[in-house]
């Protein structure tokens, strides 16, 4: 089966559920230049073949792409042909589908959100609007309007449609404008040039038809002509988000990065994920925690110091055929850990006001004397919590449920970054080990709390942002506040 899939206009959130479904089932993905890299994460195990095209640079000819689809499909594979926008809106999807039919191969079309509508919408420009525009046309801008026999009927289209949207038209802008004016479109008609629409690099130039060729803009961009452009002044929304245009590096472990990344993207940021740590089983292969679980009834308190600790502990608990009924008193280091406990049906008995080990130990001071305590945590962590509890007279068992280690260093364009976020001391230490400390003195940093901030300071780096609430939400709020103040 071959799926001809529209990837949408650029924002990964515009990918359809159907598109995601077929990407996840794909054996081979043949993709274009405008397919967002994040979309390719949905088909991580598939073979990926890049066939993108840019001005003057075609990886493969269209005939070669057609044959590639046939060759891959004939190997009894699920093939996805991934295109920017919609396959049937100047995507040459029709040609590919016809070639597949000629070769007796089955195919399905998965429509995408076309840039012709999505990009103006992200610029605050509706292609139709009551009382202003009741029609629109999508026109290729790739065709040279000066050729002897144009397939575009300039005489009629110039004035017959309220809103004109030209795709891939930057290179031919002078000729397009000349043809429109020659055939009756007024030179002072409002116009807009929109580059990298729906992405955080979006750039919008509002101009007039006559002035458009003199504006400085490069592909990929669309050209829109019509009175609806005047609505942008009141309807623009995408570029007004507080972190619009900011490029922020997330160093959190890959499995935990999504919540932070999503929150930053929702505020307009471009997020680059470059994990510095990975989560793996402890060195003892769960021997200590398994022993503790076999004697779980003997512990008066179980203390969790991270979301990962909760997740890994309950995985082991289930393997032993047990559930929450086997637990006694529960303490969580902070709100995120408490929320993770809540997701498995447990309300923590103690959650300190400040989400650090010192505060958690102090909150338990009057409850743990003579009690048996199990601390389920990372293999390597500060010992302040167990040591303090022992000083309070507790019998403390520390059982690692996971360990963190350095992730392979990622290739990062540091010159493009506006901020680097750190969610633990481990992320700081591993980042410095991989990339050195000098870059952290050039780019502002954000720490999830005072312990992480302290680790940065030990490397001679004063963080620009330190969250007042030591959670992902608190970190995002602090980043937003930082840029509001600037």
* Residues that are catalytic: 32, 53, 168
53, HSE (Cβ side, Cα atoms, 13 Å): 15
Sort strands 107-110 and 2-6 into parallel, antiparallel or unpaired.
parallel
Q: From residue 242, give the alpha-carbon distance in Å to each of 101, 149, 416.
A: 49, 49, 18
> Phi-psi region for residue 360, left (φ > 0), alpha (ψ -120 to 50) or beta?
alpha
Residue 209's contacts (CB-CB under 8 Å, 6 or more residues apart) are: 177, 180, 181, 185, 186, 187, 188, 189, 190, 191, 225
SS in 3 state form for 330-381?
Answer: EEECCHHHHHHHHHCCCCCCECCCCCCHHHHHHHCCCCCCCCEEEEEEECCC
CB 108 within 8 A of CB 58: no
10 Å Cβ neighbour count for 411? 5
DSSP conformational letter for 7: -
DSSP element (H, E) containing 466: strand 465-466
10 Å Cβ neighbour count for 14? 21
Residue 407 to residue 273: CA distance in whole angstroms: 12
Residue 168 to residue 3: CA distance in whole angstroms: 24
Residue 30: beta bridge partners?
49, 81
Q: From residue 91, give the alpha-carbon distance in Å to each of 6, 166, 167, 442, 465.
A: 9, 14, 11, 42, 44
CB 480 within 8 A of CB 242: yes
Q: Give the burial class of 255: count Cβ atoms within 10 A of its Cβ; 0-12 exposed, 13-18 middle, 19 or more buried.
A: exposed
Residue 149's contacts (CB-CB under 8 Å, 6 or more residues apart) are: none
Strands (E), 211-342: 221-225, 247-250, 270-273, 277-280, 301-304, 329-332
Residue 188 to residue 166: CA distance in whole angstroms: 18
Q: Give the burial class of 240: count Cβ atoms within 10 A of its Cβ; 0-12 exposed, 13-18 middle, 19 or more buried.
A: exposed
Q: From residue 132, give the alpha-carbon distance in Å to each of 126, 135, 159, 229, 400.
A: 10, 9, 14, 10, 66
């Amino acid at each position: 089966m071959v799926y001809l899939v529209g990837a949408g206009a650029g924002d990964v959130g515009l990918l359809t559920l159907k598109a995601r479904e077929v990407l996840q089932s794909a054996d081979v993905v043949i993709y274009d230049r405008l397919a967002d890299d994040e979309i390719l994460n949905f088909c991580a195990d598939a073979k990926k073949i890049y066939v993108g095209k840019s001005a003057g640079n075609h990886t493969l000819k269209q005939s070669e792409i057609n044959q590639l689809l046939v060759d891959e499909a004939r190997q009894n594979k699920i093939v996805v042909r991934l295109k920017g926008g919609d396959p049937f809106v100047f995507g040459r999807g029709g040609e590919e589908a016809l070639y597949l039919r000629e070769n007796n191969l089955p195919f399905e079309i998965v429509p995408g959100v076309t840039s012709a509508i999505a990009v103006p919408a992200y610029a605050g420009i509706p292609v139709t609007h009551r009382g202003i525009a009741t029609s629109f046309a999508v026109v290729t801008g790739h065709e040279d309007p000066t050729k002897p026999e144009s397939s575009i009927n300039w005489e009629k289209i110039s004035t017959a449609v309220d809103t004109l949207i030209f795709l891939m038209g930057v290179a031919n802008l002078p000729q397009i404008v000349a043809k429109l004016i020659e055939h009756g479109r007024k030179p002072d008609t409002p116009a807009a040039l929109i580059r990298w629409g729906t992405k955080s690099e979006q750039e919008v130039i509002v101009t007039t038809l006559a002035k458009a060729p003199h504006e400085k803009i490069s592909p990929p961009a669309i050209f829109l002509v019509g009175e609806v452009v005047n609505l942008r002044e009141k309807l623009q929304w995408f570029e007004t988000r507080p972190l619009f245009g900011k490029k922020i590096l997330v160093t959190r472990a890959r499995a935990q990065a999504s919540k932070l990344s999503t929150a930053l993207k929702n505020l307009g940021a471009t997020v680059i994920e470059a994990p510095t740590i990975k989560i793996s089983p402890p060195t003892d292969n769960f021997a200590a925690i398994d022993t503790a679980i076999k004697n779980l009834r003997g512990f008066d308190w179980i203390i969790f110091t991270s979301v990962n600790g909760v997740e890994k502990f309950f995985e082991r608990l289930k393997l032993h055929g047990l559930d929450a009924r086997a637990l006694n008193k529960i303490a969580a280091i902070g709100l995120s850990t408490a929320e993770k406990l809540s997701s498995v049906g447990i309300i923590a008995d103690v959650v300190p006001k400040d989400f650090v080990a010192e505060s958690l130990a102090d909150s338990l001071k009057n409850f743990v004397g003579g009690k048996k305590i199990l601390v389920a945590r990372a293999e390597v962590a500060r010992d302040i919590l167990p040591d303090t509890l022992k000083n309070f007279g507790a019998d403390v068992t520390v059982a690692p449920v996971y360990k963190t280690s350095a992730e392979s260093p990622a290739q990062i364009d540091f010159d493009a970054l506006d901020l680097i976020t750190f969610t633990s001391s481990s992320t700081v230490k591993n980042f410095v080990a991989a990339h050195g400390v000098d870059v952290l003195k050039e780019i502002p940093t954000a720490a999830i709390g005072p312990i992480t901030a302290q680790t940065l300071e030990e490397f001679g780096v004063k963080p620009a942002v330190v969250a007042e609430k030591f959670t992902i939400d608190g970190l995002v709020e602090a980043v937003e506040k930082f840029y509001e103040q600037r």
